[in-house]
Amino acid sequence: MSAAIANPPTQLAPFANEPYTDFTKAENAVRMRAALEKVRSEFGREYDLLIAGERRRTNAKLESVNPSKPSEVVGVHQKASEDDAREAVERAFAYFPAWAAVSYGERTARLLRASEIFRERKYEFDAWLVLEAGKTWAEAEADVSEAIDFCEYYARQAMKLAKPEPIVQLPGERDEMVYVPLGVGIVIPPWNFPLAILVGMTTAALVAGNTVVIKPSSDTPTIAAKFAEVLLDAGFPAESFSLLVGSGAAIGDVLVSHPRTRFVSFTGSRDVGLHINELAAKTQKGQLWIKRVVAEMGGKDAIVVDGDCDLDQAVTGVLYSAFGYQGQKCSACSRAIVDEAVYDEFLDKLKAKVETLTLGPSDDLNNYMGPVINARAKKTILDYIETGKKEGRLIAGGGAGEGDGYFVKPTVIADIDSKARIFQEEIFGPVLAVTKSKNFEHALQLANDSEYGLTGAVYTNSREKAEKARQQFFVGNLYINRKCTGAMVGAHPFGGFNMSGTDSKAGGPDYLLQFVQAKSIAEKIG
């Protein structure tokens, strides 16, 4: 156990979201370019596995690359073996009682220190996100700020768990309910928010008193290694977590199915999420509990554009929702459902705006869009575009961008039927399907015609229609007269319905309950 923190927090100021850095200010842009240069100087560095504080190297290596320039190796990482995975779970299980015994206050103090470290290293983490994940400056800044928000928000929620709401007191008894941690958790974050979601899932589990084994995406392992540095610097015991790089096929199933694993926290694709859920549901020899799965699995998100709305506002909202971070957000708008009364005008306005978007290396502040994450993703997206050209009418984009990176042009395909593949299937790239609706009721029917239910938005000036959307638009996160991306911790608890996951609402007041169990204690007195 690392040294105890002397002064756990007793009272915290109300939560407030982390402000974004304004890169239009010259001094901020200078600092960001310096951070990019510093990070580039570390390209090619080799990183170790971390297993409960032990650093380990293997013969098998994994290289992460800069998706804007794939010839640049960002980091060299060790591929964990099945034996490494089993050992990591066993060691996390062995240390769990010691970490669970640490008070909520001390665990919270470490989390708040992690928040401070992220602020101190904010430009550096921005740069890692730009160069390993292909995020533009603005998208990277939002990612790091959200990571800070998760630390600050979950610190406050943990202190509430430490002092639960009182329960009914029976005569002659002292009655209470307390929250206790679960055990060993497996944290499997995605590459698209390789810091924010990684930080959120990991710190929620740790501050609740669990130990964790982190298996980051093979596309963004360097960012995960830098996060591990923050945890250690913040005072989290080295034994409280492990960091294992490797493919899901190689070690993921071992981690999920291990009988000592108590819960799995996953963000990623629908198919992988369902596989994890199925695997976790099978009881293993020696397993004493039903495993919990906290899963966020993507979406096929729609924005409904009513005939009675501010059309320019709607066009802008669709544009940013569809093409921010190259459409590689589970919350991204991939379907625009537009009233026939304004359909042609909407397409004209959208086409004009799409054609102004700049595409190129994400380290260039002038580019609105950077690369998609890897060559496989690029090929899949381009294949979907070819399918879309057969299913509808190409309005903008339609192919690969110029340069050595994994660039795909922002693409709009109109006149799409609700049964078309690009209307139904998650593409996870800069491809927008536009469909005509007869009226608002028809638009909601089209929007709900999906196995997913993550985010959605409605643009309308009608209060009656907005209320109807509140009742009938079946998504976990609904936005009215604003874009469907950019959920803010605390204000927009995030999680979806149906095949979008378990609706566990990250960044919300009940999220930490996923990582604890309630214990009722009644003592006879007098």
For the chain, give the mean pLDDT. 97
Is a pLDDT exceeding 80 seen at residue 154? yes
What is the total count of domains within the chain?
Answer: 2
In angstroms, the CA 327 to CA 312 distance is: 20
- Indicate whether 167 belongs to any domain: yes
Number of helices (H) and strands (E), helices first, in the chain?
Answer: 15, 21
User: What is the rounded average pLDDT of the residues 446-455?
Assistant: 98
CA distance linking residue 55 with residue 60, whole number of Å? 15
Is residue 278 scored above 70 in pLDDT? Answer: yes
Question: Is 150 in the same domain as 91?
Answer: yes
- Residue whose structure tokens are 């010691």: 98
Same domain, 307 and 275: no
DSSP H or E segment with residue 296: strand 292-296
Instruction: Give the model confidence (pLDDT) of 64-98 as tens digits.
Output: 999 999 999 999 999 999 999 999 999 999 999 99
262 and 350 share a domain? no
CATH code of the domain in which 419 resides: 3.40.309.10
Q: Is residue 229 domain-resident?
A: yes
pLDDT at 2 over 60: no
Examine the domain organization and report whether 95 and 157 are in the same domain. Answer: yes
Which helix (H) or strand (E) segment holds residue 89: the answer is helix 82-100
Burial class of residue 526, CB neighbours in 10 A (0-12, 13-18, 19+): exposed
Who's near 65: CB < 8 A, 6+ residues apart? 71, 72, 73, 74
Regarding whether 440 and 403 lie in a shared domain, the answer is: yes
- 266 pLDDT above the threshold of 50: yes
Same-domain check for residues 88 and 138: yes
* Residue range 278-306: mean pLDDT, rounded: 97
Q: What is the pLDDT of residue 3?
A: 45
Would you say residue 412 lies in a domain?
Answer: yes
Domain-embedded: residue 173: yes
Does residue 325 share a domain with residue 280?
A: no
> What share of the chain has pLDDT > 90, as a percent?
97
Is residue 233 domain-resident? yes
What pLDDT, in 10s, does the model give residues 350-399? 999 999 999 999 999 999 999 999 999 999 999 999 999 999 999 999 99
Residues 339 and 472 in one domain: yes
- 60 and 127 share a domain? yes
Q: What is the pLDDT of residue 5?
A: 57
Catalytic residue numbers read 296, 330
Do the bridges between strand 241-243 and strand 211-214 make them parallel or antiparallel, or are there none, so unpaired? parallel
In this prediction, residues 440-444 reach a mean pLDDT of 98
DSSP state string for 170-229: -TTEEEEEEEEE--EEEEE--SSSTTHHHHHHHHHHHHTT-EEEE---TTSHHHHHHHHH
Tell me the residue range of the domain where 391 lies.
301-488
| pLDDT bucket at 247, cuts 50 / 70 / 90 | confident
Same domain, 227 and 205: yes
Q: Are 216 and 198 in contact (CB under 8 A)?
A: yes
Which DSSP letter does residue 276 get? Answer: H
In a domain, 6, yes or no: no
208 in the same domain as 145: yes
Residues 316-350: tens digit of each pLDDT: 999 999 999 999 999 999 999 999 999 999 999 99
- Distances 355 to 65, 103, 454 between C-alpha atoms, Å: 29, 55, 28
> Taking 90 as the threshold, does the pLDDT of residue 203 lie above it?
yes
Whether 191 is covered by a domain: the verdict is yes
Give phi and psi for 138, each to the nearest 5: -65, -40
Q: Are both 330 and 307 inside the same structural domain?
A: yes
Q: What is the CATH number of the domain that holds 279?
A: 3.40.605.10
Q: C-alpha distances in angstroms, 300 versus 306, 343, 397?
A: 19, 21, 20
- Range 388-413 average pLDDT: 98
| Average pLDDT of the residues in 141-153 | 98
* pLDDT at residue 206 tops 50: yes
> Any idea what the Cα angle at residue 115 is, between residues 109 and 121, rounded to 5°?
140
Q: Are 403 and 247 in contact (CB under 8 A)?
A: no
Domain-embedded: residue 402: yes
Residue 248 is predicted with a pLDDT of 87
